[in-house]
Structure 1
């Protein structure tokens, strides 16, 4: 008797205890046919090839279901861990239930050491810890799916016990699939975030929502990642803002990618040729303005690597900041394009419509729109009074009817109820309902939807709305002091870039061509 026949007999005994006689006879028929089909093929043990060939015989959906179920039972009993034609396991491993997790919860101490606890427990623990976020069903499902994929990958390796290096390896595999075009970017992000949540729960026993920027695993080789973390630690000692550290981190990562080094020891053997290749790589990847920002940072990184002993020579002198001609003309949109923009806003979320009206009609900066609080809106007197984030100066603006209506519409009909006690007006649409850090994406997508082409230069940021308002005020001959007060400037120097938008006055400034070629000195006259 072959091993397959033995497993089929075991499955039949199990099914006989579970099924009604008529159902059992039908199941028995398809299992016997599977064993007979294996004899015809000369296959003695359960395997992927047998399963694929057997199910391929199905000519109807109902028959395929019966054959599939027979294969699934044999696969489970034999532990072959075979895959369906869709790339899924016939029998996915069962994650620890919430009830089982609760029973062992009081015996668990944090941080959890590697190999001491099944990953399924941590998944249930993380699920409990994230309840306060009030995630939507779809977002919750995405997290669970990512955890399930991690658990399956551990199961296929033969061990579902939690280990941090296995989790990091799963992230690296996911990143590689994304680079190879086998995985969508959104799925890479949710997998990475779900795993980092799991690691935090294993370390602390709880989870607090955050952006996982500082713990981002970027360098594929371990020694390079250790060097990166060492560099980030050095930056934190320099009392730098988190955004500045993120910019330096990005510059470090793209520099390492451009150098093409395999590990830290390769840095010690670098030559000028590699530095040159790296600069070419960055030049092709970055815009001129971005190169003007990143190149000086790369220069500092190279000096750091030399002083820390990772590079034999100081190559920072090879990195020159590219010359970037300052563009004094500010971008704005024409009246017709502004009409197109308002039309595009009609089908947008209410939050986006309200934010864009604040930017277009009142000229508020991006950060002031995102940080707008309920306490700063004076509904009784129809005005907005806020302290500008950039200058710290208080600004008082009229609450225009269309702007006020757009804000009310958002608050009453779209703003999440879970954020009712949150002081900021505009919040994320998905949990956790925190305030937005920037509305650049909101603005740029609307510009793209309305096919907006800005005057003077291509730009899609929120400041274009501010410039557009200024341009309209200048066209209407509004006094400069009123414009200064509207924009919230504290210095006349701040107004100078905006004055370049006063086109009629600029046309009166250039000299004519009549003076070209005329002489203003006598022959033989000496000017010394």
Structure 2
């Protein structure tokens, strides 16, 4: 990678940076703040006699900030600015720092088939997230078939299927591939049902990860609520810990979902597409209000929870996982062989409700499960009711009794 121009004026880089932010539809306040930061950097360069910008000058500027008083958020904004300027210098634009998956395109001859298959999936009730996964699996599968020499449905044979499935390293797609092959056979697009060649992966069962009340209380106390980020993290943890809201739904929460007058949150659940309404506990309501009024960046975005550095995008599930994991580390809670993301707080709440006498139906409604049988997952941890099912231990007899008495040896 060659730097575009080793003698580049900051004003020229600034124009590239601001144009890129406009392309990304950053808010007016974000662009205004970027101009302010660029002006501060230009003043630093003028004072120190630097005519052209280089990454080394960016490092010197950030080092000078460490010696000054100022919020961590403000310093983080300058770090983002220098990183973006360096990208503009090297690439001609600043890159996005969010991880992006490699997109596999469906071979041209299968595009119409893909649309028909996805429409069929939609008609049978698959939610958008499932259809998205199936679209990805469909594209990848037919690319794999092409890689083993099968370029049309008329050519497909057991050898092609076996060869392609051996190249599919993600076993989670096996179920989708099996359904695709069944769909082809049921619609007479292939001669034989080759789905039987796809291995069936039996999912290993794990009990839900849970943490006791004391541990969950320590998690709530961990965020530093004197900082804007701490206020945000505290509100997010309460939503997951006290109300059991899924992290994807926390990400999607907007101001339209909040009814602070009646202390209610209403939204459509991302997983089930079912409407959901829950009462805001006083502590949760206070935390959200405190964040909105005293911690949230002043940006034009409908989402309640956002990142605290440019371009101030809405938080993602990965962000929430990072927040909760960080709090676990801060509290020193033992997470050995246990999950420690936001979903572990949701499962802990469900288990606590079941163990304290709440009915399974009430617990199901709080969690927002559509399937009445879904709560059986947590019923396995209902210790009081499980004890009622325990069988009495029979008195030893016969050979086993003589073994226990030392009369015989194995």
Compare relative contact order (CA 8 Å, sep 6+) and give the higher one, 1 or 2.
Answer: 2
Are the counterparts in 1 of residues 253 and 267 from structure 2 also a CA contact under 8 Å? no
Instruction: Name which of 358, 365, 388 aligns with 1:508.
Output: 388
* Residue 469 (structure 1) aligns with: 349
State how far apart, in whole Å, the 1-side matches of 2:88 and 2:158 are. 45
* Residue 443 (structure 1) aligns with: 321
State how far apart, in whole Å, the 1-side matches of 2:267 and 2:2 are. 55
Instruction: Name which of 268, 285, 301 aligns with 1:404.
Output: 285
- Unaligned regions of 5+ residues in structure 2, if any? 35-78, 399-410
Query: Post-superposition shift, 1:358?
Result: 1.1
Are the counterparts in 1 of residues 306 and 312 from structure 2 also a CA contact under 8 Å? yes
Superposed counterparts of 1:35-434, under 5 Å: 88=2, 91=5, 128-130=22-24, 132-134=26-28, 137=34, 217-218=103-104, 225-226=107-108, 232-235=114-117, 237-238=119-120, 240=122, 242-252=128-138, 254-255=140-141, 261=147, 265=151, 272=158, 275-276=161-162, 278-282=164-168, 285-286=169-170, 291=171, 293-302=172-181, 315-324=194-203, 329-335=207-213, 337-339=215-217, 341-342=219-220, 344-346=222-224, 349-374=230-255, 376-379=257-260, 383-387=263-267, 389=269, 390=272, 392=274, 395-401=277-283, 403-419=284-300, 422-429=301-308
* Structure 2 CA distance for partners of 1:453 and 1:296, relative to 1, 3 Å: farther
Give SS of 1:395's match.
strand
- Greater Cα radius of gyration, structure 1 or 2: 1
TM-score by length of 2: 0.59
State how far apart, in whole Å, the 1-side matches of 2:20 and 2:149 are. 34
* Residue 204 (structure 1) aligns with: none
* Structure 2 CA distance for partners of 1:517 and 1:445, relative to 1, 3 Å: farther
- Note the alpha carbon deviations across 1:415-443, whole angstroms, 9 max, x for none: 12123xx444223445665655x545413
TM-score by length of 1: 0.48
Query: Post-superposition shift, 1:247?
Result: 0.9
When the two chains are superposed, the root-mean-square deviation of aligned CA atoms in Å is: 5.2
- Unaligned regions of 5+ residues in structure 1, if any? 1-86, 102-119, 153-185, 194-210, 519-528
Kindly tell me the number of residue pairs found equivalent between the two proteins.
336
- Note the alpha carbon deviations across 1:132-172, whole angstroms, 9 max, x for none: 445574767767766765669xxxxxxxxxxxxxxxxxxxx
Are the counterparts in 2 of residues 356 and 443 from structure 1 also a CA contact under 8 Å? no
* Residue 63 (structure 1) aligns with: none
State how far apart, in whole Å, the 2-side matches of 1:315 and 1:295 are. 13
Give SS of 1:386's match.
strand
